[in-house]
């Protein structure tokens, strides 16, 4: 497909800028470009067709089944977008006086109340821009709390190996040493190993629950108690809350800090880099450390207040406000019962699909899963040479977005599948049919899977090359 710069024809430009409504001023010569910027010149219809072509080549939740484990690519109701485009929410400035943005502050306040109720926390900041960012803020809260007590020997954060990869990264960035503990044979935290690891140098535990295998840890209360008894705090990675929302709460499981990915669970479109929102919640005893711009209500009026011992700012102003508008819309349209039903359907859909697929493929772990499950294609690979990569390329050929693959790292040839709560039984059955068809292909003619996909716009890109040597500008575009 040709780029805008390649379609460009001298003189095809369209004037999209309005005439200036202020006097024109000549810039001094030294401030001016030596030659005009190398912008593509296209008519409006050429531009429109270009983006429509791109759109048709893009796979999204609105084009088909997208079972990308851990990422919760579910359908995001249109009403969220309608609310997020209301001028009262979009035509504002972060430095406007408080009395002119009371409605927006009410949105933050209501969203905080709702998410506190759902998580069992006492306070939430919306500043973090994504899940990993929320983890970072949350780990800083833990650090600030120990420091405030003069407890300087707590330099370690314990992280089970079935945690999301961002957990050790966030703990390290916050200046902690990560202590990794292995999972037991059921794929959950090895409680004895945790007991050995916990001590007076433990700042806390970071736990992803359900973990990246899609399993809810049965020993969760014992786990959080071990860490508390050792003087540490418990951090809950709540990025995938669609498995438990309205059913159980991290705050009731013994967790002190939690982050959510509202761009996953609370229904904001994501992928392609944002904008997201990773609010961090905490129990009351930590709320004095939260980032700045807390919103307080006083007799129906909203105002800002800065916590006494704040860790400072982790992002400019208040975070991604419109993502919070979408989340609040989602929560209010579903209501308490709807939130609960969404969780039940997320778990039901995943277990239905896991059970059906386990007739053809090996689950990485036995037993019920939560909102997602992991298959291992290790035996398939040994027997037939067909890899998880070959299978997902064949899924693409069949109009299904690949599941997350080669993750979690503790499973070989992993496929991590999350159908999500918004898919119907018919869609899931169709997908199961495709997986079954692929299974038959593996048995009868495994070689053909190495050739897949055949008809997609791009077949097998050089992924390592793309990551290591990205070409981000059109070669002929010259800086002036």
Question: What is the full DSSP assignment across 260-299?
Answer: E-TTTTT-----TT------EEE-GGGGGGS-S-EEEEET
Nearest distance in Å: CB 66, ligand PLP? 15
By CB under 6 A, is residue 240 in contact with ligand PLP? yes
Position among 166, 265, 349, 404 found at the interface with ligand PLP (CB under 6 A): 166
Number of Cβ atoms within 10 Å of the Cβ of 67: 26
Q: In this chain, which stretch among 236-244, 338-346, 444-452, 461-469 interacts with ligand PLP, using CB under 6 A?
A: 236-244
Question: What is the full DSSP assignment across 74-117?
Answer: ----HHHHHHHT-HHHHS--TTS-GGG-HHHHHHHHHHHHHHHH
Q: In this chain, which stretch among 27-35, 130-138, 342-350, 432-440 interacts with ligand PLP, using CB under 6 A?
A: 130-138
- The residue among 276 and 291 lying less far from ligand PLP, judged by its C-beta, is 276
- The residue among 204 and 276 lying less far from ligand PLP, judged by its C-beta, is 276
What 3-state class would DSSP assign to 301? Answer: strand
Token duo for residue 177: 């040493």
Position among 130, 215, 350, 357 found at the interface with ligand PLP (CB under 6 A): 130
Q: Which residue sits closest to ligand PLP, CB atoms considered?
A: 131
Q: Which residue from 160, 165, 177 is spatially nearest to 220, judged by alpha carbons?
A: 160
Question: What is the full DSSP assignment across 361-427?
Answer: SEESS-S--SS-EEEE-HHHHHHH---HHHHHHHHHHTT-PPPEES-STTSTTEEEE---TT--HHH
| Residues 140, 147: Cα–Cα separation, whole Å | 10
Number of Cβ atoms within 10 Å of the Cβ of 52: 10
By CB under 6 A, is residue 213 in contact with ligand PLP? no
By CB under 6 A, is residue 237 in contact with ligand PLP? yes
Q: In this chain, which stretch among 30-38, 125-133, 340-348, 414-422 interacts with ligand PLP, using CB under 6 A?
A: 125-133
By CB under 6 A, is residue 74 in contact with ligand PLP? no
Q: In this chain, which stretch among 128-136, 143-151, 307-315, 358-366 interacts with ligand PLP, using CB under 6 A?
A: 128-136
By CB under 6 A, is residue 187 in contact with ligand PLP? no
Position among 231, 246, 278, 319 found at the interface with ligand PLP (CB under 6 A): 278
Number of Cβ atoms within 10 Å of the Cβ of 352: 15
| Residues 158, 207: Cα–Cα separation, whole Å | 9
Q: Tell me the per-residue interface mask from 279 to 318 with ligand PLP, x by CB under 6 A, - otherwise.
A: ----------------------------------------
Position among 208, 224, 242, 329 found at the interface with ligand PLP (CB under 6 A): 208
Position among 76, 80, 261, 265 found at the interface with ligand PLP (CB under 6 A): 261
Number of Cβ atoms within 10 Å of the Cβ of 324: 26
Position among 66, 67, 70, 142 found at the interface with ligand PLP (CB under 6 A): 70
Q: Give the DSSP letter of residue 68.
A: B
Q: Which residue(s) pair with 235 in the sheet?
A: 206, 257
| Residues 402, 391: Cα–Cα separation, whole Å | 9
Position among 67, 131, 251, 269 found at the interface with ligand PLP (CB under 6 A): 131
- The residue among 137 and 339 lying less far from ligand PLP, judged by its C-beta, is 137
Window 391 to 430, contacts with ligand PLP (CB under 6 A): none
Q: Which residue(s) pair with 305 in the sheet?
A: 294
| Residues 393, 461: Cα–Cα separation, whole Å | 11
Position among 67, 276, 279, 363 found at the interface with ligand PLP (CB under 6 A): 276
By CB under 6 A, is residue 242 in contact with ligand PLP? no
Nearest distance in Å: CB 209, ligand PLP? 9
Nearest distance in Å: CB 387, ligand PLP? 24
Q: In this chain, which stretch among 129-137, 300-308, 373-381, 396-404 interacts with ligand PLP, using CB under 6 A?
A: 129-137
**Cβ atoms of residues 345 and 243 within 8 Å:** no
Binding region for ligand PLP (CB under 6 A): 70, 130-132, 164, 166, 208, 237, 239-240, 261, 276, 278
């Amino acid at each position: 497909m040709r780029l805008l710069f390649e379609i460009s024809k001298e003189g095809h430009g369209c004037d999209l800028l309005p005439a200036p409504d202020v006097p024109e001023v000549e810039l001094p010569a030294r401030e001016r470009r030596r030659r005009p910027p190398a912008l593509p010149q296209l008519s409006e219809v050429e531009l429109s067709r270009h983006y429509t072509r791109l759109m048709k080549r893009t796979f999204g939740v609105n084009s088909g089944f997208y079972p990308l484990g851990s990422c919760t690519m579910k359908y995001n109701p249109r009403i969220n977008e309608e609310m997020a485009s209301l001028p009262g929410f979009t035509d504002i400035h972060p430095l406007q006086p408080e009395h002119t943005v009371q409605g927006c502050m009410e949105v933050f306040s209501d969203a905080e109340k709702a998410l506190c109720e759902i998580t069992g926390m006492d306070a939430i900041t919306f500043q973090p821009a994504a899940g990993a960012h929320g983890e970072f803020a949350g780990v800083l809260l833990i650090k600030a709390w120990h420091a405030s007590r003069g407890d300087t020997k707590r330099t370690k954060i314990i992280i089970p190996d079935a945690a999301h990869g961002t957990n050790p990264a966030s703990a390290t960035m916050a200046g902690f040493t990560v202590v990794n503990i292995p999972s037991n044979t059921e794929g959950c935290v090895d409680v004895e190993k945790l007991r050995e690891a916990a001590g007076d140098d433990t700042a806390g535990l970071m736990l992803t629950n359900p973990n990246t295998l899609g399993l809810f840890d049965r020993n969760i209360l014992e786990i959080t108690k071990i860490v508390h008894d050792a003087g540490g705090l418990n951090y809950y990675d709540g990025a995938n809350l669609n498995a438990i929302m309205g059913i159980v709460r991290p705050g009731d499981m013994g967790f002190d800090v939690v982050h959510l990915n509202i761009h996953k669970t609370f229904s904001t479109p994501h992928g392609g880099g944002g904008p997201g929102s990773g609010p961090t919640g905490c129990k009351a005893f930590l709320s004095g450390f939260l980032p700045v711009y807390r919103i307080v209500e006083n007799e129906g009026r909203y105002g800002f207040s800065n916590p006494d011992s704040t860790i400072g700012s982790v992002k400019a102003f208040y975070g991604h406000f419109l993502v919070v508008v979408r989340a609040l819309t989602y929560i209010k349209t579903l209501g308490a019962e709807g939130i609960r039903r969404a969780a039940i359907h997320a778990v039901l859909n995943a277990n239905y699909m896991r059970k059906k697929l386990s007739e053809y493929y090996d689950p990485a772990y036995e037993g019920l899963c939560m909102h997602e499950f992991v298959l291992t294609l290790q035996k398939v690979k040994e027997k037939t040479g067909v890899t998880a990569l070959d299978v997902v390329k064949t899924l693409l050929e069949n109009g299904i977005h690949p599941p997350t693959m080669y993750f979690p790292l503790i499973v070989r040839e992993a496929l991590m599948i999350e159908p999500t709560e918004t898919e119907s039984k018919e869609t899931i059955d169709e997908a199961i049919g495709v997986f079954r068809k692929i299974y038959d292909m593996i048995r009868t003619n495994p070689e053909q899977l190495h050739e897949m996909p055949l008809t997609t716009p791009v077949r097998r890109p050089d992924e390592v090359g793309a990551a290591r040597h990205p070409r981000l500008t059109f070669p002929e575009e010259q800086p002036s």
